[in-house]
Amino acid sequence: MPRILRTAVLALALPLFAGDRTPQAPVNINTASVTELMQLPKVGAKTAERIVAYRKQHGGFKRTEELMNVKGIGEKSFAKLRTHLSVGTKPANKP
């Protein structure tokens, strides 16, 4: 593959691998699927699964800050996510 083409392909693909994703609209952490949560910056499959598990176990989130109770999401991660999150009008139903 010519070097210039390889460079162009890497430049286009790098944000996908680097986790530099940005959702078009805020993601409702009470209703989002694992796939939808993975659209958030720096949220991979494991973290998205933990968010869904936490939501099911605790009956949903009342405030976005509660996301820091999920393993793997600390203050720094939350600060990057804050503007991309919503909790909707009511938490998800308890199982």
**Mean pLDDT, rounded, for 57-67:** 96
H helices within the chain, ranges in order? Answer: 3-18, 34-37, 45-58, 75-81
Q: What does the pLDDT look like over 66-89, one tens digit per residue?
A: 999 999 999 999 999 999 999 986
What are the phi and psi torsion angles at 63 (to 5°)?
-135, 150
Instruction: Judge whether residue 48 has pLDDT over 90.
Output: yes
Number of domains forming the structure of the chain: 1
In a domain, 9, yes or no: no
Backbone angles phi, psi at 22, to 5 degrees: -140, 120
- pLDDT band, very low/low/confident/very high, at 63 (cuts 50, 70, 90): very high
Which domain range does residue 37 map to? Answer: 22-95
Asked whether the beta carbons of 60 and 70 are under 8 A apart, the reply is no
Q: What is the CATH number of the domain that holds 48?
A: 1.10.150.320
Does 75 reside within a domain?
yes
Which residue in the block uniquely carries the two structure tokens 């996510």? 81
Which contiguous run of DSSP H or E holds residue 1? none
